[in-house]
A = this chain, B = another copy of it.
Amino acid sequence: MNERNGRGPVGVTLIGSGRMGSFHGASLAQRLPGARLTAVADPAPGAAEELAAGLRAASAYTDPAQAFADPTVDAVVIAAPARFHAGLIVAAAEAGKSVFCEKPAALSLEDLDRAIDAVRAAGVVLQVGFNRRFLPDWVAARELVDDGTLGTPRLLRSVTRDPGGFDPSRVAPDTIFNETLIHDFDTLRFLNPGARAVEVYAVADALVEPGWRDRGLLDTAVVTVKFDNGAVGIAEACFEAAYGYDVRGEVFGSGGMARMGDGRLTGMEFFGPAGRSSQTPRNDQALMAGAYVAELAAFVDSVRDGEPAVVSGRDARAALAIALAAAESVRSGLPVQIAGQDR
């Protein structure tokens, strides 16, 4: 790993000041004592300035190249649109900056391989935003895998349901696979460590918005993933759930089952005329805020200590390969093999 510049907090520039970027920026500026938000970059007029001012970051750029040129910057957090991710990773790596990149790290394996190669050549850290790995329930489940309690995984499940209100102009035919389910594909891999996905079968449809069907858009999908250790994973997603934001999973092995996500916002239960009830999370941040901070904390630690990222480019590639196969499976109506993905 590269030497980073200096010994104080890790200097990080944020690239992208949208919803997720703003959250990451606030984490860097206010919640992570080991990090220092040096600057915000966003091409939209005034956007970077506004966020930088709010977070007391020293600089605001309209071009991320300005960030890459700053020698006091150790790392960048990329929260730009997905189609720019791979190019930004390459540019950052070539400038010697470590990179935390929101998922998906790229939209094609070719782009992703270029990015990974650049990262390796530069010896910098690359961490991808697979935040489920930082949710306490999932961390606890993985511990039961690692310590042998769950035995050999047989069946896995990962579910993502969004609260709805999607803007169709931001949805492409493969969005449900490479933006949403890519989390679930990574989760299946996270809970079946060491195994390789070998075959994918997907069914998908526009069930929330049947009008999307003619435009080839998909809002609901179920994906079956066969692994080389015999385990079978199911990933399912829907862009709208009447009850809010739903992330759950389970891993069932020879030693038992772990179930993650109880669907509640808090443990408070109200008993009233309508029965017993709990609140549910209404958006991702209600459920994921802690995980968003934790993944950045892990990244900052990796950069500071020159340690490999806990979620690597290899993980990004394996999840993307499943997403691409799932999209192909929907187009062909057939199961799709995944070639050896070691890299």
Pick the contact of A232: B220, B264, B265 (CB < 8 A): B220
Pick the contact of A203: B224, B236, B259 (CB < 8 A): B224
Q: Given A154-B207, A273-B243, A275-B279, A266 and B149 touching (CB < 8 A)?
A: no
Pairwise interchain contact B270-A236, C-beta atoms closer than 8 A: no
Mostly, the A contact residues are mixed
Shortest beta-carbon distance from A178 to chain B in Å:
20
Per the CB 8 Å criterion, the residue count for chain A at the interface is: 70
Q: A242-277, CB under 8 A of B: which get 1 and which 0?
A: 110010000010111111111111111111111111
Pairwise interchain contact A234-B236, C-beta atoms closer than 8 A: yes
Which residues of B sit under 8 angstroms from A150, Cβ to Cβ?
270
Closest residue of chain B to A161 (Cβ to Cβ) is B252
Pick the contact of A276: B141, B232, B273, B277 (CB < 8 A): B277
Sample of 18 further A-B pairs with CB below 8 A, known A31-B31, A154-B238, A207-B231: A138-B268, A140-B268, A207-B230, A208-B254, A222-B232, A234-B234, A234-B236, A246-B257, A246-B271, A256-B270, A257-B271, A258-B270, A259-B270, A260-B268, A264-B267, A274-B277, A277-B278, A334-B334
Interface residues of A, Cβ cutoff 8 Å to B: 29-31, 33, 136-138, 140-141, 144, 149-152, 154-155, 161, 199, 201, 203, 205, 207-208, 210, 220, 222, 224, 226, 230-232, 234, 236, 238, 240-243, 246, 252, 254-280, 333-335
